[in-house]
Amino acid sequence: MTIGTQAQPLSGAPSRESLADRLQAVLPKIVLAPSMVITLVFTYGFIVWSLVLSFTNSRMLPNYDFIGLSNYSKLFSMERWTVAYTNLFIFGFLFIVIAICVGTLLAILLDQKIRAEGVLRTIYLYPFALSLIVTGTAWKWILNPEIGIEKLMHDIGFTRFQFDWLVDKDMAIYTIVIAAVWQASGFVMAIMLAGLRGVDNSIIKAAQIDGATMPTIYRRIILPIMRPIFFSCFIILSHLAIKSFDLVVVLTAGGPGYSSDLPATFMYQYAFGRNQIGIGSASAMITLMGFIAILIPYLYSELRKKKHG
């Protein structure tokens, strides 16, 4: 009598299920590996390379004759670098404060459940969708004394009106602030509006029952609750301010002279315009350290929040 037997897989041969599980576990790593390698090489690799070049006497081409901190001492003795970093503090402070204030006010306005909220939200957010090249070009036309606001006011009869900030070396940096605030305020508005919509309505209703007015509720209850969102906006806008390049190049080209230079434009001019790669790399490292100094408190607060959360 023949007894049927079922073939059993060899103990040493993996089953199809185990192969599929292994492939599914390895596949994401295979997909992400090229982008990880590119990021390591072309971001962090070039950061390390720039750090090395900042200690060398590199000019048109890199060389590795180390000269210590000579580039850094030379950098801080240059008037143009002093102007660039002073402009960064002026631009950064005004840009961050005004953009957060305007964005918060717009978010509070839209939080009142007004009509055509979707249309207004789109209008406010639209400038952020434009490239900095387009924004700079548009504001260069608007602020140009010969074809912009000043000419328009003269044409309608206000011949004494004057708005020549774009060609005034003392005021040129403020034209960059105007264009940057116009572009970033809608982005801040979107973040703030999401935060406002996340506030528990029961808190607001309880305050209204106690007789608090809406301005008081926003000032003493809602806005303090949104402190982490304000901090996030501060970090994002600080990053945008520190790396500002396109807007400056298109709007003022760093001029008149170098009166509206920022560290990013300074670095580009010395590294690629004047063929002083060592000085350019040193300025890039100082700028990077400035951003890291802002980023570390944010990372610390986030890690602390997760630890105690």
Mean pLDDT of the region 226-254: 89
pLDDT of amino acid 44: 87
Across residues 30-55, what is the average pLDDT? 88
- Residue 260 near residue 248 (C-beta atoms within 8 A): yes
- What pLDDT score does 17 carry? 63
Instruction: Supply the pTM of this predicted model.
Output: 0.83
pLDDT tens track for 103-123: 999 998 888 877 877 888 888
CA distance 173 to 83: 11
The confidence band for 1, taking pLDDT boundaries of 50, 70 and 90, is very low
CA distance 23 to 18: 9
More confident residue, 263 or 118: 263
Report the percentage of the chain scoring pLDDT > 90.
29
More confident residue, 118 or 176: 176
User: What is the DSSP track for 97-126?
Assistant: HHHHHHHHHHHHHHTT--TTHHHHHHHHHH
Lowest mean pLDDT of 20-34, 65-79, 138-152, 186-200, name the range: 20-34
How many whole angstroms from its chain centre is CA 121?
Answer: 21
Average pLDDT, the chain: 85
Residue 182 scores a pLDDT above 90: yes
CB 133 within 8 Å of CB 246: yes
Region of poorest pLDDT, from 111-125, 161-175, 228-242, 247-261: 111-125
